Structures are given as structure tokens and as C-alpha cells.
Amino acid sequence: MLKPGPVRALGTMSGTSLDGVDAAVVVTDGEAIAGFGETAYRAYAEEERAVLGGALGRWPGEAGVAAADEIVELVHAEVMAGFASIDIAGFHGQTLAHEPRGRGTHQAGDGRVLAGVLGVPVVWDFRAMDVRLGGEGAPLAPFFHFACAKWIGAQAPLAFVNLGGVGNLTWVDPTRPRPEAAGALLAFDTGPANAPIDDLMRARGLGPCDRDGALAARGRVAEAVIGRLLQDAYFLKMPPKSLDRNAFARLSADVARLSDADAAATLTAAAAASVARGLEHCPRRPDRLLVTGGGRKNPVLMDILRLRTRLAVEPVEVVGLDGDMLEAQAFGYLAVRVARGLPTTCPASTGVRAAVGGGTVSAPAPSARSVPD
């Protein structure tokens, strides 16, 4: 299906923060990264975000899901149609519900629609096979993180920390030959990250996020709240492990009586404390933390992370990567791996029983649903 050697793969990501759709090109053969290409971003409008937010926690056929599907497909089609000379695309969709030990995992959006619109093969539904085979279905970026560690020439174990709506960590030993090799990876969700902060800001009418940590910088951390959070059994559970966006929804109640600034400071510290606790599970303490996702732009969060981990904590830009687009690039990379029969998860990344390639490949075909130009 794909020509030999490196190809131009377009990946997309719409994260749990519900801010919008990232799209980015990576040039790869599914193993090594040969280069990076164009990027684009399309923010969700408030009314679109409201529909998606209303569908969180819901499953196919339930109220609001069809409307969420339509928004996800329309917005992705709009963004992805702006890229030229693409060989394959990876479409993550929008996670609405994630219960790997329950009902499974549910991402809004149908890759067949996008294949029909774009005229190239689209790989989607990346998580379902992993969950069916006993895995957590998340996080999915670790194999790409391994490739990134090779691309930057790392020689010692390091960790990639993604601070999106939920935090996740990938520990990488770049001296190993392949991501599925024994001892190459360990990956897991660390705990709440930006989602509780964003929810606080919106609930109190303070805007969509705490830009630059300005509100948190004026507050004091309620350490009792952090202490209660870290007593949760999740932090003792051995990885791999994963979380739903609202797994720690009680944090909102815990800070309800705090001032705006103190609540923001406490939730920001909670994100950092979760990562610090997660480092206790790593096979060896990493030399550095490379941070991706929106949290790296919050200097208060980054400073607290340095304080609580006592490690070098840097945005991924210091090694030439794009922290806004890393996850989108990951799904382009994973799409190539799926198309070429390579694994995308392994026991150390999701807890799946064996290394497995997850994803459905949809060839271009006319769409049954009307998607405007």
C-alpha cells in the first residue's frame, strides 16, 4: 500500500483538554524519523467545545455522541485537507470515554469518512485492539517517543512527560534496538494535569486556561489537598496504567472553598506532584525530563516540577522537537507502523499481552456522510 522507504505521514490529535485539533507531517519509514513537515492547528469554537464536553463519558449510540462525531469529522477534514502530497494519515479522533477494564475505549469520529474526503489511506481506531488484548489502550505515543530519543541522539535514559489534560510519562532507554525490546520503555498516565486547571478557570468565569500560570503564581498551595490526592490507590498501582480525563474529578470539590489563586496553585502543584510520584516507578532515574503538551508553557508548573523532581526539566524544543505537535506527529508515525505491520504497543507501554499493532486502515472511498469543502 505504501511505497518503500520514508513516506509523508499526516497525523492528527484532539486531546482531552478539548482545545482543538493539531495536525502535523512526519517523514518516516515507521521505524526511524527522517524529518518533519508542515503543521496546522484549528481551535474548537465554544459551541463545538460545548458539544464535545457534553458527550464526555458517553458511548456509541448514547445521547450527544452522533453530534460529537460530526464535529470531530468536520473539523478534522477542514484541517487535514490543507496538506498536500500526503501518503497516509493517522486519525486519533476525540476520546469520549476510556474504561480499559470495563466497556473499552471510545474515540469520536470515523476514519472512513476522512479517507473518502482526503483520498489517501487513513489509519484510525488505534486503541481498541490493544484493549481487547488486555492492554490499557494508552498512552500511545511511547513508540514515537522512542524514535524521538534516537533522533536527538540520546545516549542515556530520559523521560518524555506530556502535560495535556491528563499527564503521562514515557521512560526511554535509547540504547535498546527497538521500542518493543525488553527494557526499552515504560509508559503510563501519571495523573491529572491541565484538565482540572482548565475546568476551574471555566467554572469560575476566568477564561479557558491559566495562561502562563499567572493566577497560580499569586496563590498558595493547599498541601493537604496534594496529600489526599497522592493517597489514591492509583499512585501505588504498578504501570502500565491509564486514566480517563475525569478520573480525579474530586479535585474540583477539594479546591471548591479555596480562592481562585489558591485553587489554581493547588491544581498546578497536583499535576507536578503526580509526575514526581510516577518517577518512583521508573526502572532507573532518568537524566532529564523533556516536557511536551500545553503544560510546558506554564512556567509555574515547570518550576514546581523541577522542585518536586530535582531533575533537569525542559520543554522538548530544547532538543529540536515541537511540543505543540508531538502527539499529532506520533499518530502519523503510528499510521505508517500499522500499514507496515509493525507493533504500536507492547507490554511495557500499555500492559498488552504481547507487542501488537493496533489500528484500522481505511482506503479512500466515497463517504456516506456529507462533508463540505
pLDDT of res. 354: 94
Distance CA(314)–CA(160), nearest Å, equals 10
* DSSP conformational letter for 293: S
Q: Cα dist. 74→41, 42, 105 in Å?
A: 14, 11, 22
Cα distance between residue 82 and residue 99, in whole Å:
34
Asked if 164 and 243 count as a contact pair (C-beta separation under 8 A), the reply is no
CB 29 within 8 A of CB 107: no
Instruction: For the chain, list the domains and their CATH numbers.
Output: 7-138+326-362 (3.30.420.40), 153-319 (3.30.420.40)
The closest alpha carbon to 189, from 102, 247, 134, 228, belongs to 247
282-293 b/e with 16+ CB inside 10 Å = b? eeeebebbbbbb
Using alpha carbons, select from 8, 58, 62, 52 the residue that is nearest to residue 30: 8
d(CA 358, CA 130): 6
Cα separation, 354 vs 134, in Å, equals 9
> pLDDT tens string for the chain (373 positions)?
789 999 999 999 998 778 899 999 999 999 999 999 999 999 999 999 999 999 999 999 999 999 999 999 999 999 999 999 999 999 999 999 988 888 999 999 999 999 999 999 999 999 999 999 999 998 899 999 999 999 999 999 999 999 988 999 999 999 999 999 999 999 999 999 999 999 999 999 999 999 999 999 999 999 999 999 999 999 999 998 888 778 888 999 999 999 999 999 999 999 999 999 999 999 999 999 999 989 999 999 999 999 999 999 999 999 999 999 999 999 999 999 999 999 999 999 999 999 999 899 999 965 444 444 4
Query: What integer pLDDT is reported at residue 19 of this predicted model?
Result: 87
pLDDT in the model for residue 365: 66
For residue 105, which amino acid is it?
A: T
Tell me whether residue 102 is exposed, middle or buried, using C-beta atoms within 10 angstroms of its C-beta: 0 to 12, 13 to 18, 19 or more. exposed
pTM: 0.92
CA distance 292 to 207: 22
DSSP-derived 3-state class of residue 340: coil
Asked whether 236 and 266 are in contact (CB, 8 A), the reply is no
